[in-house]
Structure 1
Amino acid sequence: MTSFQCRGDLSPSKCSECVTAAVQTASSSCPSSIGSRVQKNGCFFRYEQYSYNVEDSSVVVELCNTQKNTDPYFKNQVQGIVSRVISSAPRHKNLFASASVSLASQKGSSAASKLYALAQCQGYLSPGQCADCLTAHSSSWQDCDAAVGSQIHSVSCYYRFETYPFFY
């Protein structure tokens, strides 16, 4: 079984470019394997020997930005925006949500002025399965210990936040 999915904010041409790159990565990195999963910044490509149209919320990878912000205000803003995209994604047709929030009240701080986040589930999930998958990992970003950004990827869903724009 083979599938791909682009992030909900990608144009058809950007989606095509991303999927082409993901297929090339899978072909060169896993030339003789019976399955592969490739996550690019904008799309996901997967092939397996078996059917996989079921929710799998096991964590595949957690990526943490190396920069830190220990300000409690920042942590609260991260919690808020992550909760917002996690609760919004299952309610949208393409199981995708993005948001940004101003960090303007960190007066005098040299830190970033905005926080960006998105969440998305694989298109074969129902809205309920999407919600379950994202909720299962809703606090995983805290594993990144005050990082100014993180990406939490499971087989069926993912979310990300950063202090710089990474979506359209």
Structure 2
Amino acid sequence: MHFYSVSLSSPFWVFLVFIFSLFPRPSISALESFIYVGCSPLKYSPGTPYESNVNSVLSSIVNSASISNYNNFKISLPGSTSNDVVYGLFQCRGDLSNSDCHECVSNAVTRLGTSCVGATGGALQLDGCFVRYDNTSFLGDEDKTVVSSKCGPPIADDPDLFTRRDAVLGFLGAGGQYFRVGGSGKVQGLAQCVQDLSASECQDCLSEAIQRLKLECGSSPWGDMFLGKCYARYSERGYSSKSDNDDDVERTLAIFIGLIAGVAILIVFLSFLSKVFDHKDGK
């Protein structure tokens, strides 16, 4: 009778190492995918009260994001003048947990600090959160300026897709909460306002975003329209906290498990054949 052992230098282990090398490395969460950044051209001097107020606002934003999905601030530390006041806010996507919101906002503040070094104001939008600070108050002001818009490649006429897209956008624009999500078949959409707006201002902003989205992305399977204080989006893929790379990992893992199962079955079969032949030789 023969016993089969597999050494670390065997072809089987070499095969395993090769398969593991094919696994893609996990990438940043889709919630932290970059959308846009804007920085004020005005600069502040290092070591001034204004710099201290900026740092305090950004710290307050990060800390508050661990317990809520939205908050705004007006910071004026002792020793500051009226010109040193800093205003700030953050807004996370309505379906994020506190931990996801905190992680997203922390990442946004870090990127904002890198992108807008020394700037008196800045705004940064990631897929899952929005952060802004400035030396003039913007809290409660409606802003329908287009800051980012993207459309998928035009596709051939697809009546079902476009009908469902229009139904989703119609639902998102019908009024309701600051965060809205809806779907029809394979088409999903979401819309959101920054919560410093009133309900009527939110509705006005979203109506503008959806109108522009239909106009610019009319023949696309997906589209994004971000205004200064709101956004509307639709896609066939939908929106979740899982990145595209996570899908690749799952597919690769499924293939890997299948290959391992196949190799295991082959080894068992060869071992069985060996036992059969050994039994015949013994006779």
TM value normalised by structure 1: 0.85
What value does the CA root-mean-square deviation take over the aligned residues?
1.5
Compute the displacement of 1:7 (Å).
Answer: 0.6
2:184 alignment counterpart: 101
Within 5 Å, which residues of 2 pair with 1:25-64? 25-53=111-139, 54-64=141-151
- Answering whether residue 160 of structure 2 is matched by residue 73 of structure 1, we say yes
2:89 alignment counterpart: 3
Compute the displacement of 1:150 (Å).
Answer: 0.9
- For residues 161 and 69 of structure 1, do their structure 2 counterparts lie closer, same or farther at Cα, with a shift above 3 Å needed? farther
CA contact (8 A) 1:118 1:161 kept: yes
In structure 1, how many angstroms separate the alpha carbons of the residues matched to 2:134 and 2:91? Answer: 15
- Answering whether residue 228 of structure 2 is matched by residue 155 of structure 1, we say yes
- Answering whether residue 207 of structure 2 is matched by residue 135 of structure 1, we say yes
In structure 2, how many angstroms separate the alpha carbons of the residues matched to 1:163 and 1:134? Answer: 20
1:106 alignment counterpart: none
Aligned partner of residue 187 in structure 2, secondary structure: strand
In structure 1, how many angstroms separate the alpha carbons of the residues matched to 2:156 and 2:174? Answer: 25
Aligned partner of residue 137 in structure 1, secondary structure: helix
Percent pairwise identity:
31
In structure 1, how many angstroms separate the alpha carbons of the residues matched to 2:134 and 2:220? Answer: 33
Equivalent position amino acid for 1:77 in 2: R
- Answering whether residue 174 of structure 2 is matched by residue 87 of structure 1, we say yes
Compute the displacement of 1:78 (Å).
Answer: 1.1
Query: Structure 1 residue runs of 4+, over 4 Å off?
Result: none
Aligned partner of residue 98 in structure 1, secondary structure: strand
- For residues 50 and 162 of structure 1, do their structure 2 counterparts lie closer, same or farther at Cα, with a shift above 3 Å needed? same
Of the two structures, which has the highest relative contact order with CA contacts closer than 8 Å and spacing of 6 or more? 1
Equivalent position amino acid for 1:20 in 2: S
1:108 alignment counterpart: none
In structure 2, how many angstroms separate the alpha carbons of the residues matched to 1:70 and 1:165? Answer: 21
1:105 alignment counterpart: none
In structure 2, how many angstroms separate the alpha carbons of the residues matched to 1:27 and 1:69? Answer: 43
- For residues 118 and 36 of structure 1, do their structure 2 counterparts lie closer, same or farther at Cα, with a shift above 3 Å needed? same
**Structure with more of its chain in helix, by fraction:** 2
In structure 1, how many angstroms separate the alpha carbons of the residues matched to 2:191 and 2:96? Answer: 14
TM value normalised by structure 2: 0.51
Compute the displacement of 1:148 (Å).
Answer: 1.0
Compute the displacement of 1:67 (Å).
Answer: 6.2
Compute the displacement of 1:145 (Å).
Answer: 4.4
**Structure with more of its chain in strand, by fraction:** 1
- For residues 162 and 50 of structure 1, do their structure 2 counterparts lie closer, same or farther at Cα, with a shift above 3 Å needed? same
Query: Higher Cα Rg: structure 1 or 2?
Result: 2
Unaligned runs of 5+ in 1: 103-113
CA contact (8 A) 2:167 2:184 kept: no
